[in-house]
Amino acid sequence: MVIHTQDTPNPNSLKFIAGRQIIASGTMDFPNVNAAHCSPLAKQLFHIEGVKGVFFGPDFITITKESEMEWSLLTPQVSAVLEDYFASGLPLMTDAPLSDSVPSEESEEDDEVVALIKELLDTRIRPTVQEDGGDVIFKGFENGVVKLKLLGSCTGCPSSIVTLKSGIQNMLQFYIPEVDEVVQVQDEIDEANIKAFEELEKKLKDI
């Protein structure tokens, strides 16, 4: 098996393509090692020094690295882990994920506007974002504001705000007059994790 790599708009994220299906539907985001409890492969990838995030797409895996780590050092290690794991035939998932990174499905409770937002996200926006090694998840619509969560290579990407505002917001506003703004949100658990990591980094720098 030959693992190919593909650049993403985020210089700290790289797509690894194995020429096979990774997951049957949707995407899976592992923003830290704690989130990888349900995937032996994701756990193994986090054991590589410098790996900051792991993201499973339909036919690719996006690795996000620590900014100071060089891809020339990281890429061979990631490729070796992927080759060995796929050759083993072991399942990618061993437990139900806690992540919400699944395709947005229409609910009977959705009103017409929300249903249209989800349809545009799934048919027009998510495929494009996945091409860049990431994903976007619908988190709500309130008072004209669409709330989206960015995953994979989109997380921390310098161009993600541009993508959100000039790309996604413009498209949704073109088709749906009720949309006033698109904003990026994070789950409470994500915010807690980010705050904890920032505090830890600060303590380590003070030592």
Per-residue model confidence as pLDDT tens digits over 70-117 = 999 999 999 999 999 999 988 888 866 554 444 444 454 568 889 999
> Strand order in 13-17's β-sheet?
4-7, 13-17, 61-65, 51-56, 28-30
pLDDT tens figures, 2-32 = 889 999 888 889 999 988 888 887 888 888 8
* pLDDT of 129: 80
Structure tokens at 93: 């998932």
Give domain limits for the chain. Answer: 4-88, 112-189
Q: What is the DSSP string of 178-193?
A: T--EEEE---HHHHHH
- Find tokens 């091409």 and name the residue: 131
End-to-end CA gap in the chain: 45
Higher per-residue pLDDT: 130 or 30? 30
Q: Where are the beta strands (DSSP E) in 57-133?
A: 61-65
> Strand order in 145-152's β-sheet?
134-142, 145-152, 181-184
- pTM (predicted TM-score): 0.66
CATH code for the structural domain at 112-189: 3.30.300.130
pLDDT tens figures, 148-201 = 888 876 666 555 555 666 678 888 888 898 989 888 887 544 444 445 545 555
According to CATH, the superfamily of the domain at 4-88 is: Scaffold protein Nfu/NifU, N-terminal domain (3.30.1370.70)
4-88 and 112-189 agree in CATH topology: no
